[in-house]
């Protein structure tokens, strides 16, 4: 791909980020808890941000509020420093591109026709060059005359992306855009879309419930729960240092262990563990499954292997330690027999996700 798109930028005199949300709240009925409650967030220029969380956490509603498909009950939305809420600005005047789960391509229009459809606001002489430039960016120039039904799922996704990018939006919103693709195509399409957004320097927000997708796609991810932000940070930060038990368990399964902390160590059923942060007194710790390793009897504590799942490059074991079940991931082809005794040890420092009197 050699074509590039120049994204929309604010006027030289105004130094504003692409998106600012301040105390955003939305209820669907009076008296009910808010679907989005007091959410504040700033998105950086050129950033790929992901809203991640379980069904009903408010991530899609947040996206719809940004797009102007819903109106907030309170709070404000600013795009490039311009208020979208006071007064309310309709979707078509927000400078926002949308890519949905079902692509929403026009079946009676060719690939080129679909991309041209979003450029009716441009002078006629600029429309075709812009559409061709965008198709080159997404690698679909040779498919310009084809109809949507003649394309694969991944190609249809790229047409939808091209149609959204062609007007050069200030912000691109992607709502579960890969969920209709099979696993292999989903992976390759996600990589292609990410590369296209990088090349065009487009600021984008992805909504997904898929943890692997969020980790692979994002510069930063926002993990949501009950309409609020549970944790925000780079994928590495949020995965390696979850702040709550919910984050630890939702973003990759984790083992939660009770212990008693004293400074940088805690006494637990797995022995004396190093901690990523200093703590004192009763604590709840997160130990990732890949941070448990099978070992010789002299090095670890005894467990019983209850079950296993072989996944090709590694295997996942459920083991029993006293009354608690733990998850252990082990790389390599060796399969350990079920219902046998083994020994495990912790290989990395544990994360404190709750101290006495804290919130999970």
- pLDDT tens digits, 175-198: 999 888 888 888 888 999 999 999
pLDDT the model gives residue 14: 43
pLDDT greater than 70 at residue 7:
no
Q: Would you tell me how many other CB atoms lie within 10 Å of the CB of residue 45?
A: 16
Helix and strand totals (H; E) in the chain = 8, 18
pLDDT greater than 90 at residue 101:
no
User: How far apart are alpha carbons 127 and 132 in whole angstroms?
Assistant: 9
Contacts of 128 by beta carbon, 8 Å cutoff, 6+ apart? 116
- Give per-residue pLDDT as tens, 207-261: 999 999 999 999 999 999 999 999 999 999 999 999 999 999 999 889 999 999 9
Lowest mean pLDDT among 46-50, 55-59, 298-302, 333-337: 333-337
pLDDT the model gives residue 15: 58
pLDDT the model gives residue 166: 94
Judge whether 19-239 and 241-353 match in fold. Answer: no
CA distance between the termini of the chain: 47
What number does CATH give the domain 241-353? 2.40.50.140
Q: What percent of the chain has pLDDT over 70?
A: 94
227, 235, 233: which is closest to 65 by C-alpha?
A: 227
Mean pLDDT in residue range 324-346: 92
Taking a C-beta distance cutoff of 8 angstroms, is the pair 289, 251 a contact? no
Q: What angle do CA 144, 150, 152 make, to 5 degrees?
A: 95
pLDDT greater than 60 at residue 269:
yes
Domains of the chain: which residue ranges? 19-239, 241-353
Taking a C-beta distance cutoff of 8 angstroms, is the pair 187, 228 a contact? no
Fold of 19-239: Rossmann fold (3.40.50)
pLDDT the model gives residue 360: 52
User: How far apart are alpha carbons 167 and 121 in whole angstroms?
Assistant: 9
Q: What percent of the chain has pLDDT over 90?
A: 81
pLDDT the model gives residue 11: 35
Contacts of 298 by beta carbon, 8 Å cutoff, 6+ apart? none
- Give per-residue pLDDT as tens, 9-59: 433 334 578 999 999 999 999 888 999 999 999 999 999 999 999 999 999
How high is the mean pLDDT of the chain? 91
Secondary structure (3-state) at 288 = strand
Within the chain, strands assigned E span: 19-26, 36-43, 48-52, 74-79, 82-83, 96-99, 171-175, 204-208, 220-225, 228-233, 254-268, 271-288, 292-294, 301-310, 314-321, 324-331, 341-346, 351-355
pLDDT greater than 80 at residue 356:
no
């Amino acid at each position: 791909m050699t074509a590039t798109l120049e994204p929309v930028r604010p006027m030289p005199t105004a130094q504003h980020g692409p998106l600012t949300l301040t105390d955003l709240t939305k209820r669907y009925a009076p008296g009910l808890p808010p679907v989005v409650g007091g959410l504040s967030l700033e998105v950086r220029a050129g950033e790929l941000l992901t809203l991640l969380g379980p069904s009903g956490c408010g991530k899609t509603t947040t996206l719809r509020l940004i797009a102007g498909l819903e109106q907030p009950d309170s709070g404000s939305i600013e795009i490039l420093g311009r208020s979208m809420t006071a007064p309310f600005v309709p979707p078509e005047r927000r400078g926002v591109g949308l890519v949905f789960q079902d692509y929403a391509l026009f079946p009676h229009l060719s690939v080129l026709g679909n991309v041209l459809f979003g450029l009716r606001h441009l002078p006629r002489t600029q429309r075709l060059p812009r559409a061709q430039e965008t198709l080159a960016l997404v690698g679909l120039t040779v498919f310009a005359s084809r109809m949507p039904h003649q394309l694969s799922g991944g190609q249809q996704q790229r047409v939808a992306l091209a149609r959204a990018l062609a007007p050069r939006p200030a912000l691109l919103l992607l709502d579960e855009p890969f969920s209709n693709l099979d696993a292999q195509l989903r992976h390759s399409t996600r990589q292609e879309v990410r590369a296209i957004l990088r090349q065009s320097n487009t600021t984008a927000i992805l909504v997904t419930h898929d943890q692997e997708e969020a980790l692979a796609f994002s510069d930063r991810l926002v993990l949501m729960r009950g309409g609020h932000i549970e944790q925000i940070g780079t994928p590495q930060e949020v995965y390696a240092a979850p702040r709550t038990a919910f984050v630890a368990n939702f973003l990759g399964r984790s083992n939660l262990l009770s212990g008693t902390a004293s400074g940088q160590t805690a006494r637990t059923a797995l022995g004396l563990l190093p901690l990523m942060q200093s703590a004192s007194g009763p604590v709840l710790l997160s130990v990732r499954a890949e941070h448990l390793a099978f070992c010789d009897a002299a090095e670890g504590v005894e467990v019983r292997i209850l079950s296993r799942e072989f996944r090709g490059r590694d295997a996942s074991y459920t083991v029993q330690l006293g009354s608690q079940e733990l998850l252990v991931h082990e790389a390599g082809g060796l399969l350990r027999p079920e219902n046998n005794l083994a020994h495990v040890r912790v290989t990395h420092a544990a994360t404190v996700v709750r101290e006495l009197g804290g919130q999970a």
